[in-house]
Amino acid sequence: MAAQAAGPRAVSEDVLAAARARRSRGQAATTIAKDLGVGRSTLYRALEGGSSSLC
């Protein structure tokens, strides 16, 4: 299997911090992703600690 190519990262530290705060208050990830302008799957990866999704 080929290594994943490094490319531009989709979620900045500021956006991730805002998303984490909103999740801790119980807001749905779908709503957070829509409001912050990122894809839902991208947001899930970033929240789970996928460093390839962070700026």
pLDDT of 1-55, one tens digit each? 555 555 566 789 999 999 999 999 999 999 999 999 999 999 999 998 854 444 4
pLDDT at 54: 45
**Per-residue pLDDT, 6:** 55
Q: How many CB atoms lie within 10 A of CB 44?
A: 15
What pLDDT sits at residue 11? 84
Q: Decide: 36 and 43 in contact? Cβ < 8 Å.
A: yes
- How far, in Å, CA of 54 to CA of 33, rounded? 14
What backbone torsions phi and psi does residue 11 show, to the nearest 5 degrees? Answer: -125, 120
Overall residue count recorded for the chain in this entry: 55
